[in-house]
Structure 1
Amino acid sequence: MSGAAGWQELRGGWTLLVACAVGVGLSAIALPFYAIGPLTRPIEADLGWARADIQLAILFSSGLGALTAPVTGWMIDSFGARVVALPSIIGVSLGLLIASSATTLTIFYLGFAASAILGAGTNPVLWSRVVSGSFEKARGAALGLALVGTALVALLLPSFIVVLVEYGGWRFALRGAALLPVALALPLVWLWLRTDPNNAAGGDSARNLTGLSLGEALRSYRFWVLSLSILLGYLAISGTLTNLVPALIDRGIEAQAAAAFAGAIGIAMIPGRILVGFVVDRIWAPGVATVVLLLPAAASYILRDATDPTTLLIACALLGLAAGAELDLLAFLTARYFGLAHYSKIYALAYAALATGSATAPFLFATVHDRTGSYDASFMVAAGFFAIAALLMPLLGRYPKFEQDTEGPVGGTR
């Protein structure tokens, strides 16, 4: 971040950052993802469904989120961020309300699928595009601050769900979660996500955008290295986070305490997002990413059999650092390595890798539990995935310089 100019950008755009933070936190990706963990055991007890079948719902939300991401990127460029975001926020709520009335797995999955499709415009493709296009000197910091919304949801939602379950059951809890997007995100986005009429994306003003075309990005080895690293990292983090609460309850930890440990991940996500955002404005981002991803590798190894509260808190905090940084890093690295000229389309495809991992991992982790009676093997696999994802990041190399790029490399060079 470039000193006073960066701080001035952040002060001038704080309302936009708040709108984006709430929007991404209550998106079709984040809200179902952080709700499913504390809902798993109550649904299992009520309807007798297997845990793997319950967690498979995330495949329909995050998985369809991956499929709709390229379309969302095109819609943002064509119609503007605000036009896409507002109806999508309502769509998230409608889908989860359908899921809350389910008596069969088909209806349950249909609700999560509807949330993903109708709420496609709430996913990080939109929020990161707005922020990347609206901030230049403090882009990393702005992304960290905007995307901190998912950290707040990770911190608060598990305990919120547990309280609602105890009061009125899992259906009541899911309906309570479903109301959050229209109650909180919709008014803030309506008021503060304003679009420059000369720029459909909602940022960039009159700047001449530079960067690779979608085809050029797909022919670059960097795109595939970045996508593979993000895929592995999100397989690990998604499988771990959604199954952490039931895993801890299986070890004899009470539901509220298990939710509190999950909340510790959310607490760590907040400084993780903000700190990493500020650091990558100054230091070579792939190096930062390598360190960030190695820490949760150690945490996953610890979690395979930990029961000591202090040990669990440390492990959850390390996981939170990764969960709090990877989404920001994907957005920042996409802008730095491929430019902003076709950012929405390129980011959407890279994000599809993230969403694929987020969609499949909860089901895979729960399947391992159903077959072995333990999550130990899953936590070990997660540790390996984190380590490989970390070692891939340095392969991205130096930041490129694009033709007519007068901004220069943000965050230094390798």
Structure 2
Amino acid sequence: MTGAGDMGELRDGWRLLVACAVGVGLSAIALPFYAIGPLTRPIEAELGWARADIQLAILFSSGLGALTAPVTGWMIDRFGSRTVALPAIVGVSLGLLIASFATSLAVFYAGFALTAILGAGTNPVLWSRVVSGSFEKTRGAALGLALVGTALVALLLPSLIVWLVEQAGWRMAIRGVALLPIVVSLPLVYLWLRPRRRDHGASEARGDLVGATVSEALRDYRFWVLSLSILLGYLAISGTMTNLVPALVDRGIGAQAAAAFAGAVGITMIPGRVLVGFVVDRVWAPAVATTVLLLPAIASLLLRDATDPALLLLSCALLGLAAGAELDLLAFLTARYFGLAHYSKIYALAYAALATGSATAPFLFAWLHDLTGNYAASFMVSALFFAVAAGLMPLLGRYPNFAAKGCPTGMESR
């Protein structure tokens, strides 16, 4: 449990948490993901590309993010988090800048691909590793606070992009977004990303860290249950969120109003992240995850044809709770079920499932729109995926006990 005495751990590490929050919010995963929705219709209008083709760009950013995640995990262990993060922040900006000059889909995709490759060191693998290694008694709360950066981006970025598009067009909107990592993230990460322990730029398998090896994790059914649940959850949340603005605009809602509804997702992501982080320090995390995943299943059913502002706000708020919690839950559950001895590598492999969902869902949901003429089928698929993801979580069982060094994952559960 998180007690009053433990709060000093959070207080002492607040600069590190701010650096991680900004870093993950302006990462190669978050920026393209939250930008593509409000950019879809302006690009479609100017260049005539199909929505599915535009949203396919996320496959090149998040998809390559999935492929690079294991390499990123190895680099963190080998060189340390700061050495990996700083050049990657610049890489995010360069990739997005290239995408802004696109006159063909090939160049557009290349920009998003370079964002993923050059910015691989900004993805949650790094920030989660830093926080999990720097906080122990308040790990869940720390992860929730650190990863709140993506919630702030979800809240603010859609409206910023819509405003920039109205002022100067979609190309300048992307260039404005491309400036954010260099102007905001780079100085804060340079000054404050100083892990408090267990980040030595060498092998992660230190003598004072215990947990499963990579091969033990891959042989453990819980790794695959966790990965499948996260994959389905992120297929649902990614497909819904990236298509939310165009879906609402199709119903006659103005672009700014649609962006405001999408921003409601970000509003509830913030308390969702923080609250879930504090709760999992006290309550069995799979039970929390099940509850969190069932709520957006209801939201998806409401979004199928809702136009009433109150229903739309409620639906977006419920979506935000899931989007605000899943990344935190993956990081927390990986540490709880597999330990810290090889955390970066194991988390990177599980994160690959999340990134795969994030990569493929926007295209699939847009493709369903192009096929059926509306987003009703997409929202039904989203509800199903959320429900199945929720049902998988209790199968993880009790937490393993890593008190004895070298204790494998299947032993001494509690």
For normalisation by structure 2, the TM-score amounts to: 0.96
Gaps of 5+ in 1: 407-412
Residues 21, 147 of structure 1: 8 Å contact kept = yes
Distance 1:266 1:376 in 2: 23
Q: Structure 1 residues 255, 338: CA separation in 2 closer, same or farther (over 3 Å shift)?
A: same
SS where residue 4 of structure 2 aligns? Answer: helix
Residues 69, 125 of structure 1: 8 Å contact kept = yes
Distance 1:15 1:119 in 2: 22
What are the residue-to-residue correspondences of 1:9-408 with 2, within 5 Å? 9-195=9-195, 199-200=199-200, 208-404=208-404
Distance 2:207 2:282 in 1: 23
> 1:194, CA displacement in angstroms?
1.6
Q: Structure 1 residues 405, 313: CA separation in 2 closer, same or farther (over 3 Å shift)?
A: farther
> 1:128, CA displacement in angstroms?
0.1
Q: Structure 1 residues 303, 196: CA separation in 2 closer, same or farther (over 3 Å shift)?
A: closer
SS where residue 107 of structure 2 aligns? Answer: helix
State the AA in 1 paired with 2:379.
F
Distance 1:342 1:231 in 2: 21
Distance 2:207 2:158 in 1: 42
Q: Structure 1 residues 293, 144: CA separation in 2 closer, same or farther (over 3 Å shift)?
A: same
Distance 2:197 2:9 in 1: 20
> 1:3, CA displacement in angstroms?
1.1
Report the counterpart of residue 409 of structure 2 in structure 1.
Answer: none
> 1:6, CA displacement in angstroms?
2.0
Residues 143, 328 of structure 2: 8 Å contact kept = yes
Residues 134, 198 of structure 2: 8 Å contact kept = no
Deviations 1:64-90 (A, max 9, x none): 000000000000000000000000000
Deviations 1:119-174 (A, max 9, x none): 00000000000000000000000000000000000000000000000000000000
Residues 133, 340 of structure 1: 8 Å contact kept = yes
Residues 133, 198 of structure 2: 8 Å contact kept = no
Gaps of 5+ in 2: 407-412
Residues 195, 202 of structure 1: 8 Å contact kept = no
Distance 1:329 1:371 in 2: 34
Residues 134, 202 of structure 1: 8 Å contact kept = no
Deviations 1:26-68 (A, max 9, x none): 0000000000000000000000000000000000000000000
Q: Structure 1 residues 215, 207: CA separation in 2 closer, same or farther (over 3 Å shift)?
A: closer
> 1:5, CA displacement in angstroms?
3.5
SS where residue 66 of structure 1 aligns? Answer: helix
Report the counterpart of residue 409 of structure 1 in structure 2.
Answer: none
> 1:405, CA displacement in angstroms?
6.0
Distance 1:9 1:103 in 2: 50
Residues 196, 202 of structure 1: 8 Å contact kept = no
State the AA in 2 paired with 1:348.
A
> 1:328, CA displacement in angstroms?
0.1
Residues 130, 201 of structure 1: 8 Å contact kept = no
- Aligned-residue sequence identity (percent) comes to 80
Deviations 1:225-251 (A, max 9, x none): 000000000000000000000000000
Q: Hey, which bits of structure 1, 4+ residues long, moved more than 3 A? A: 195-199, 201-204
Distance 1:136 1:45 in 2: 50
Deviations 1:269-289 (A, max 9, x none): 000000000000000000000
Distance 2:299 2:202 in 1: 39
Distance 2:6 2:291 in 1: 25
SS where residue 11 of structure 1 aligns? Answer: helix
Residues 28, 115 of structure 2: 8 Å contact kept = yes
SS where residue 129 of structure 1 aligns? Answer: helix
Distance 2:6 2:233 in 1: 30
State the AA in 2 paired with 1:13.
G
State the AA in 1 paired with 2:157.
L
Distance 1:88 1:289 in 2: 31
State the AA in 1 paired with 2:342.
H
Distance 1:317 1:389 in 2: 19
Residues 131, 203 of structure 1: 8 Å contact kept = no
Distance 1:130 1:379 in 2: 35
Residues 130, 203 of structure 1: 8 Å contact kept = no
Distance 2:42 2:181 in 1: 23
Distance 1:345 1:145 in 2: 23
Deviations 1:169-223 (A, max 9, x none): 000000000000000000000000125697426999x881000000000000000
Q: Structure 1 residues 197, 299: CA separation in 2 closer, same or farther (over 3 Å shift)?
A: closer
**2:3 counterpart of 1:3:** yes
SS where residue 400 of structure 2 aligns? Answer: coil
- Number of positions where the alignment pairs a residue of Structure 1 with one of Structure 2: 408
Distance 2:403 2:256 in 1: 55
Distance 2:381 2:368 in 1: 11
For normalisation by structure 1, the TM-score amounts to: 0.96
> 1:371, CA displacement in angstroms?
1.1
Residues 140, 280 of structure 1: 8 Å contact kept = yes
Distance 1:184 1:50 in 2: 33
